[in-house]
Structure 1
Amino acid sequence: MEECSLKKSENCSSQFNVMEDNHFEEIEDTRSAKEEWEPKPGMVFDSFDKFFQYYKSYGNKMGFEAIIRSSRKGDDGELIYANLTCSCGGKWNGNSRNAFKTQSLTKTYCKARSTASRRPDGKWQIVSIIFDHNHELSSLGKTRYFKSNRTIQPNLKRKLEVNDRIEIRPNKNFNSLVVEASCPENLTFRQKDCINYIKKVGRIRLGVGDAYAIQKYFLKMQNDNSNFFYIMDFDEEGRLKNVMWVDARSRAAFKEFGDVVTFDTTYLTNKYDIPFATFVGVDHHGHSTLLGCGLISNEDTQTFVWLFQSWLACMSNCAPKAIITDQDKAIRNAIEIVFPGTRHRWCLWHIMKKLSEKLQSYHEYEHIKFSLQNVVYDSLTHEEFEERWNRFIDKHNLHDNDWLLGLYTERQRWVPAFVKDTFWAGMSTIQRNESIHAFFNGYVNSKTTLKQFVEQYENALRDKVEKEKEADFKSFKSRIPCISIYPIEKQFQNAYTIVKFKEFQQELASKLYCEISSFKEIDSYMEFIVKEDVIVGETCCRVPFVVCFDETSCDVRCNCRLFEFKGILCRHAIAVLIHKEIYHVPEKYILRRWRKNIYRCHTKVRISYNSWSTNLEGKRFDQLFNSFSMVADLASSNDDDCNMVMQMISDMKNKLMLNENAGGIDRSLSMSTNSRTNCESVQYTFKEGSNNCD
């Protein structure tokens, strides 16, 4: 029995020893394999790509993702140094772009890295290695989720595109590839990667006859006026991705009203899932004016960069001074790339519209909403906003609200107190763009095809031009009566369009609620405190405004900044001017932008949709334009001829202006036989000048 037991023990011991030996050998094999994987200082590679692939393969086996952290090029422009690190290395940068969306953190300051440099013979040699990671490494089965490993093979890309073209939903499109691969683990990409790829290679979905209709419309418009601009963007296979166009009249209108632009995208119709992008300005009547539009396949940064660059080229590389958009991150990125010097602000209406979505879960939502609106709209200065905002956050204990934190971080992009120092032509939201889309109502509905839209687009523009002409006529031939005896009101009545004069008149009338409470002299100017009675809720209170006045230059500035923002003198400034017995304001306070007696260049542009060819004034304009062009070609050869023609133009301009002043402002209505004589006289004079140039 003991012998048996002993034998059994020996056998057990023997088995145990064998197991230990096998385990030891397995560890040795793993260690030796790892040593073969590991990069070592001094290792040489034929090229940087091979070095990168080697370190990337090593990372996959170890369970981390290798990325290029930094690199340097030599004088010849070729890469000479590279630092490859673990993707968890570095510091997370919580900049303002992440303010509205919390993101998971992947950066752990990991120091693992491999540094290499190029040798004189062109080969790459590893200089230094750090192996240690300060985080857990992924298992081998999970390395396929690394961003650098998620690739879609060309044959699968083709299948995705074909399925998408026949309108197979993205989830079914991906599932078809899963079935072919037997299981998701056999694929090197995720469903999200498929969706992103389909969006990336997106193109405008055209129906039967759409492409021909677009091309026909563009050729027709360009044939009618060579200044019609359009550009098409195609993918590698020649499929239409994006298209942008600006008619000749809109290009000319940009010179008048392109200082402030709103940009927005919306879906054109329910029939086509196509983003319709519009550039919109505001004219001298306060009406929306279309400055360009496009149909785009995606709403990503790359697409918006293409659209903005195309539009900028159309406008002779003259960027707007200010632009209003929503909070879309891709639009913001594109603006920073294409319009770096343009002041960019967010649509205030869109932000305030989100209050219910973001704050409704709070028990005191209605009170919070009312308080926030007061903070935003009633803060006059930066300091006042900061103080009231902090009180608002403390009072309602909103320190942990990420949405409000993000808004505060980006306050210079939307809070009136921070943006009113810039001229915005009175536009505070991009609802103006929505009126542009409403402007297409009656011409476009949910069942409209792209072909029908192109055909109706011209009719819609014709209607818009007609409304502008009607507003011009009303401003020239009628006027709003003055409500005061002050000559300053008469000055604006004579200068401004009806809509803008009404805005000034409203400020003048509101002077009734203003009272100058005190003033003091500071250096070369005087500082007035103007108190205005305003209604807050159901109570009346007095709000002080600071108006600075320089008697020497007649400069007047109010901290409400209405003139800077809107181009209309505020009630507080008017009160000070009248107090100082200044009844005629300097010309700098009467903006050309709002004048009614200015002949705008875009109204002279010949285009098909306003039947210009049948307009007598249009025919005369074309005759003059052709004569001017011919003379310009002849006189530009030398300074003497150029100076002679410029003097002739100056003399004719002075003569025509005298005739205009004598005959009234509305030149278009008074031009008959006499106007025809003027036109022929100018042409005859230029013909004589042309002979002299010869």
Structure 2
Amino acid sequence: MSGGSESDDCVTANGMVYIPEVRNEETPTVGMKFDSLDLAYNFYNRYAFLAGFGIRLHSSFRGTYKKEILRKEFVCCKQGAYRKDETRERKRQRGISRCNCKAKIVVVKTNGSKKYAISLFAEGHNHKMTDSERVHLLRSHRRISDSTKVLTKQLGSVNIPIHQKVSIFEVQSGGMDKIDFIKKDIYNLECSVNGKLRNHDVELVTEYFMAEQKKKNEAFYFKIEGDGEDKFSRCFWADATSRRAYRLYGDVVVFDTTFNTNRYDLKFAPILGVNNHGQKIVLACTFLSKETTESFIWMFEEFKKAMQGGEPKTIITDQDAAITRAISIAFPTTFHRLCIWHITSKFHVKLPHSAYKEYWREFQKAIWDTDNKDEFDAKWNIVVTKAGFTDHQWLSSMFDLRESWVPAYARDFFAAGMSSSQRAEGSHAFFKQYISRRNSLMDFIIRFERALSHQRQKELAADHVDAFEVAQCILPMPMNKQMATLYTRAMFQKFEKELIQRTACFLELKTEDASKVVFN
């Protein structure tokens, strides 16, 4: 290179010109011909890589009716000058990279020729070249191959974040300088793909659900409603497996709306149950844009249309006025049980700190260690009076609602071992392994189906154990041996544990007939 400066800044004031030192066969020359503009770009970009600068496309001239490009300029990436736009508010301040460099090539296509020829080659730059260790970071020398794009999509389908994707590509390629792109390029790629899908969610999801319905002989049920602008308002769906499961295990369902799983901040509201292995199962799914009574009624009505077997006997939810009103209208005969975990977790917020520390143990004993309604009422009133909270508004409201959440009151209602919507929140933790808040709705549904497949595989594995193995009984009692043949492995282990605990109790015969014996 001729001349030089200790600074990497553009050197225009003193007229210094930098000439790259590249082999002649790799250097453009006037008259050099190419079969296409892509080949011309690739040749100049290869030269730029060896020289230590980046390039970009610049002006074009088209022929009659703009059918064919007759002239094209490829310029140094530092061509042009920075112009500050005072009318535009920038979210972040970028450095100035352009310094009016004049280096470029111009290719033209003459009449009657099928090839492009270099008509001008400006070799000199007004800035120093980039070191060979950094030249791969220049934009024109970064490229994401088609195979990398496919792998990026596959990794994204299992919710692997961008930084981990880049680490995988780094290991595959043998170093960061050999992967041909940077983390920002993967981010831009995903933004570009998502941008093309944006505002088409209703159309895409509807097509996907219709394909599922056709593939599964109409056993797949769904209902989608938009807001008139090709955006979701609400969506309900239940597949054949879930609908069949409700007929078997639909006595108790859990409903929760605390899960945001997509870039639109729609509420994902799964309706869950528990199977004969004590495992969580998905019975139906809903997206809701509004958490209103009307939205919940719509969801519950769609649920009734999709499911055979009538209303559930018990539904467990968080304490929410809109949900409560909707259940009373849609499921008038269903027992609505409030999530006891959500209620008890509010004590430390609703009570003064000192009072919570002093009396929480007594509240716990009143809630959990009472066998009947009268005993609970008595213990509750004692601790409330002792604490001086007889006029406490929140405690009074919880006492008024005691039939909906206190175990002593709900003991007569079947709950399948579920006393709270923590089971729904545990399911959320499972699905979060597969789902990201950056998801479009189509992304979410595809990834959710994968998560659901993993969940159902666990149920299949439990079924296999029951079919292939016989449970071993700890207690050699006829009843215990009989239950081992009737219960699933998980349920039998619970039964046997309780039976062992009961051996410490004194049993008294109460009634006996041909079908059963009852002890107290």
TM-score, scaled to structure 2: 0.59
The equivalent residue for 1:276 is 268
1:388 paired with 2:349, answer: no
Indicate conservation of the 8 Å contact 2:319/2:339, yes or no.
yes
1:323 paired with 2:315, answer: yes
Shift of 1:403: 0.7
Matches within 5 A, 1:498-647: 498-516=489-507, 549-552=510-513
The equivalent residue for 2:450 is 459
Instruction: Give CA deviations for 1:354-384 in whole Å, capped at 9, x if unaligned.
Output: 111111x152322311100000001101111
The equivalent residue for 2:207 is 216
Equivalents in 1 of 2:488, 2:310: separation in Å? 27
Matches within 5 A, 1:158-557: 207-225=198-216, 226-235=218-227, 240-269=232-261, 271-316=263-308, 318-359=310-351, 361-516=352-507, 549-552=510-513
- SS of 2:480's equivalent in the other structure is helix
Amino acid aligned to 1:324: I
1:213–1:234: structure 2 CA closer, same or farther, 3 Å change rule?
Answer: closer
Amino acid aligned to 1:509: I
- SS of 1:216's equivalent in the other structure is helix
Indicate conservation of the 8 Å contact 1:290/1:436, yes or no.
no
- SS of 1:515's equivalent in the other structure is coil
Indicate conservation of the 8 Å contact 2:253/2:312, yes or no.
yes
Amino acid aligned to 1:438: A
Equivalents in 1 of 2:358, 2:506: separation in Å? 32
RMSD of Structure 2 on Structure 1 (CA): 2.0
Equivalents in 2 of 1:233, 1:317: separation in Å? 26
The equivalent residue for 1:530 is none
Indicate conservation of the 8 Å contact 1:217/1:454, yes or no.
no
Indicate conservation of the 8 Å contact 1:207/1:450, yes or no.
no
Indicate conservation of the 8 Å contact 1:319/1:342, yes or no.
yes
1:381–1:553: structure 2 CA closer, same or farther, 3 Å change rule?
Answer: farther
Instruction: Give unmatched runs, 5+ long, in structure 1.
Output: 1-205, 520-525, 527-548, 558-572, 577-694
Equivalents in 1 of 2:230, 2:266: separation in Å? 19
- SS of 1:327's equivalent in the other structure is coil
Indicate conservation of the 8 Å contact 2:340/2:405, yes or no.
yes
Instruction: Give CA deviations for 1:102-140 in whole Å, capped at 9, x if unaligned.
Output: xxxxxxxxxxxxxxxxxxxxxxxxxxxxxxxxxxxxxxx
Shift of 1:446: 3.1
Instruction: Give CA deviations for 1:76-117 in whole Å, capped at 9, x if unaligned.
Output: xxxxxxxxxxxxxxxxxxxxxxxxxxxxxxxxxxxxxxxxxx
Equivalents in 2 of 1:259, 1:451: separation in Å? 31
Equivalents in 2 of 1:553, 1:346: separation in Å? 40
Equivalents in 2 of 1:316, 1:256: separation in Å? 10
TM-score, scaled to structure 1: 0.45
- SS of 2:257's equivalent in the other structure is strand
Return the structure number with greater helix share. 1
Amino acid aligned to 1:495: L
Amino acid aligned to 1:446: R
Equivalents in 1 of 2:494, 2:259: separation in Å? 34
1:332–1:286: structure 2 CA closer, same or farther, 3 Å change rule?
Answer: same
Indicate conservation of the 8 Å contact 2:243/2:308, yes or no.
no
- SS of 1:298's equivalent in the other structure is coil
Amino acid aligned to 1:404: L
Shift of 1:343: 0.8
Equivalents in 2 of 1:218, 1:480: separation in Å? 41
Which sits farther off after the overlay, 471-480 or 294-303?
471-480
Shift of 1:553: 6.0
Indicate conservation of the 8 Å contact 2:260/2:266, yes or no.
yes
Amino acid aligned to 1:389: W
Indicate conservation of the 8 Å contact 1:260/1:323, yes or no.
yes
- SS of 1:448's equivalent in the other structure is coil
Shift of 1:551: 1.4
Shift of 1:271: 2.6
The equivalent residue for 1:169 is none
The equivalent residue for 2:31 is none
Instruction: Give CA deviations for 1:653-685 in whole Å, capped at 9, x if unaligned.
Output: xxxxxxxxxxxxxxxxxxxxxxxxxxxxxxxxx
Amino acid aligned to 1:247: D
Which sits farther off after the overlay, 436-445 or 350-359?
436-445
Matches within 5 A, 1:11-22: none
Amino acid aligned to 1:299: E
Indicate conservation of the 8 Å contact 1:214/1:451, yes or no.
yes
Amino acid aligned to 1:264: D
Amino acid aligned to 1:374: K
Moved over 6 A (4+): none
Instruction: Give CA deviations for 1:392-434 in whole Å, capped at 9, x if unaligned.
Output: 1122111121111001111100000000101111111111111
Equivalents in 1 of 2:259, 2:375: separation in Å? 40
- SS of 2:268's equivalent in the other structure is strand
Instruction: Give unmatched runs, 5+ long, in structure 2.
Output: 1-196
Amino acid aligned to 2:434: Y
Instruction: Give CA deviations for 1:243-290 in whole Å, capped at 9, x if unaligned.
Output: 100001111111001111111112332633110011111000000110
The equivalent residue for 1:73 is none
Indicate conservation of the 8 Å contact 1:275/1:297, yes or no.
yes
Indicate conservation of the 8 Å contact 2:227/2:233, yes or no.
yes
Indicate conservation of the 8 Å contact 1:209/1:451, yes or no.
no
1:346–1:315: structure 2 CA closer, same or farther, 3 Å change rule?
Answer: same
Which sits farther off after the overlay, 288-297 or 459-468?
459-468
Amino acid aligned to 1:327: Q
1:479–1:441: structure 2 CA closer, same or farther, 3 Å change rule?
Answer: farther
1:317–1:466: structure 2 CA closer, same or farther, 3 Å change rule?
Answer: closer
Shift of 1:466: 1.3
Indicate conservation of the 8 Å contact 2:201/2:230, yes or no.
no
Equivalents in 2 of 1:512, 1:555: separation in Å? 19
